[in-house]
Structure formats: C-alpha cells, structure tokens
Amino acid sequence: MTPGELGTGRGAFGMLDVAATVRGATSHRGITYAEVPGFRPLLMDVHVPVGASGPVPCVVWVHGGGWENGDRRFTPGHWPAGWWFESFVGAGLAVATVDYRLSGEVRYPIPLHDVKGAVRFLRAHAADLGIDPDRFGVSGESAGGHLAAMVALTGDDPALEGTVGTCGPSSAVQAAAILYGVTDFPTMLTRRRPPPGQVPDGPEHRFLGATPEQASVIAAAASPVNHATRSSPPVLLVSGDCDVTVPLDQSERLRDALVAAGARDVVLEVVPGADHCFVGVDPAPPLATAVEFLATRLGA
C-alpha cells in the first residue's frame, strides 16, 4: 500500500492536512481510521519524529473527559500547551492521538472497540507512517486512562476485540502509562451512589448504560482490575494523592491486582498534592515520568 492509499478506501492520504504541527514531527492530521455506518468518521492524528533513522515506536494517546467529552487534539487546560505531544516526539516516539465514540452516542464496550481499531489500523499502516509495528504503547488520562488500561490488558481478547475498522492485525501493546484512570467500576459506582429515590446519572452510569444493580456483571467486566494477568505488559500508574474525581485508590487497586497476578513490571507513581489532571502541582514532572517509562520500555 502506498501513502496515497492510506485511509479507509475513500480518502487519500496525500490529501490530508499534513504539516509539522508538533515541533520536531511530521504531523498527519485527520486520518480516518474507521467508518462506522450511522456514526461520524473516527479520526486520529499521527505525529512522527523527523529524521528518524528507522521505524520508531508509537504511543496511542486516549483523551479523557468522563467518556462524554474531549477531543484527540487537546490535553487538559492545566498542562502546558503542546508540551505533552512534543515530549513524546522529543523522546523518539511517534504519538497517535485518537478520537472514539462518546457515551452520548454508544455504550461500553464500543469505545474500547474504537481504540482497539485504531491500534490495528496503525499496525496495518506502520510502514507508510514510519512506525514499528512491534513496539506499541498506550497512554490515557482519566476516562482515557481507563480505556488505555483496558487496551493494554485485553490485547487480542476475542470477546473484547470488536470489528471496528481494520481487521487482522493485533491490537496488543507492549507498554502502558495510565494517568489517574478508573480501574474498578463497582467501587466508583458505590462511591457515587445517589440518595434514595434518585436515578443514578453519573458519567460512569452513562458510560456503562445501567445502574450497578442492573449491570454488576458489565461493571466488573469493564474494570481493568479484573483483566490483570501474569502476561500483562509493563504498566506505569500515575495518580495524585488529592484526586477527588478518580481517587488514588483506583490506581492502587490496579497495581495490587497486577502484582497479585504475577505481572513483572508494574510501577505506581504517587504525585503529592495533585488533584485530578495534576491540578495543584506542576504537571510536567509526572508527565515526563510517563514519557520516560514508555520510551524505556519501548526501546526508543
């Protein structure tokens, strides 16, 4: 396949808005990685380091926003503008930022299927983009951290693979950096239980599409803690100890589940004084830790 054919068969790669929008990178913007009948096209941007001597590792970035907001192009407002994607590129990593369908459109597990479809698309077109199909990482923050953790822990699981976009290539990744992600839905749903007589209507309920009483099986199945295995890839968990949106114990629970399962490379980084999105502290140091972890594990 030539670069001009990269896409979903309808668009031409050469007609995309391709410009160096991230310092040090060639940025391929607005690639359609899947078209699902009845929904908007699913898009990604891919930023590849300029001047690399060979194929580079690729990190798939999954935005947050409670599964109901967010955009692949933007990071939390507290973070330095452009810094996050530039840091990946500066470390010798390509970064692919992906959109996925939100909870006003679909319910779990469809957003997970979308992100897995993005990984498969990237692997299928790795040669055209200059990325290494054997060195993939995934990272995400908050709701995106949940999806990133699920991608990392369920690679090629037939029950969760879905049929979005390119079929055939693997959706497995070789490392993950999870920033304050939800890892145990039953505990989060219990924490947000409404007063008697009120219908549960939090972001977790909208994402799962049911109350915990109606869907305890779904809540458990959507929880990364229940997918920890000995063969899990290297995982870094980063969370603030003052996070009131997704408490630190969510990261601790996944750390404990991975260790108990025998996973060999699990790191928990606690950020003192940090609220959600690292509000209250300088976000650069914990973000740099995540970049370094992925660059090291992926051999950048």
Calpha distance 191→202 (Å, rounded): 11
- HSE-up (13 A, CA, CB side) for residue 85: 28
The whole-number pLDDT of residue 10 equals 33
- pLDDT exceeds 60 at position 237: yes
pLDDT band for 165, please (50, 70, 90 cuts): confident
User: What is the value of pTM for the model shown?
Assistant: 0.91
Lowest-pLDDT choice from 116-120, 192-196, 271-275: 192-196
Strands 25-34 and 17-19, sheet pairing: antiparallel
Calpha distance 85→75 (Å, rounded): 9
Can you give the residue ranges of every domain in the chain? 3-184+230-298, 185-222
What number does CATH give the domain 3-184+230-298? 3.40.50.1820
- pLDDT exceeds 60 at position 196: no
pLDDT band for 7, please (50, 70, 90 cuts): very low
- pLDDT exceeds 70 at position 37: yes
Return all residues near 203 (Cβ < 8 A) that are at least 6 apart: 66, 67, 68, 103, 143
Q: Which residue has the tokens 């299928």?
A: 124
Return all residues near 60 (Cβ < 8 A) that are at least 6 apart: 95, 96, 98, 115, 118, 119, 122, 136, 137, 138, 139, 148, 151, 173
Mean pLDDT, residues 121-136 taken together: 97
Strands 131-141 and 56-62, sheet pairing: parallel
Return all residues near 148 (Cβ < 8 A) that are at least 6 apart: 60, 62, 115, 138, 139, 140, 176, 177, 178, 181
Amino acid, single-letter form, for residue 234: P
- The two three-digit tokens of residue 90, written as one number: 């500066």
Q: Which residue has the tokens 């992600």?
A: 181
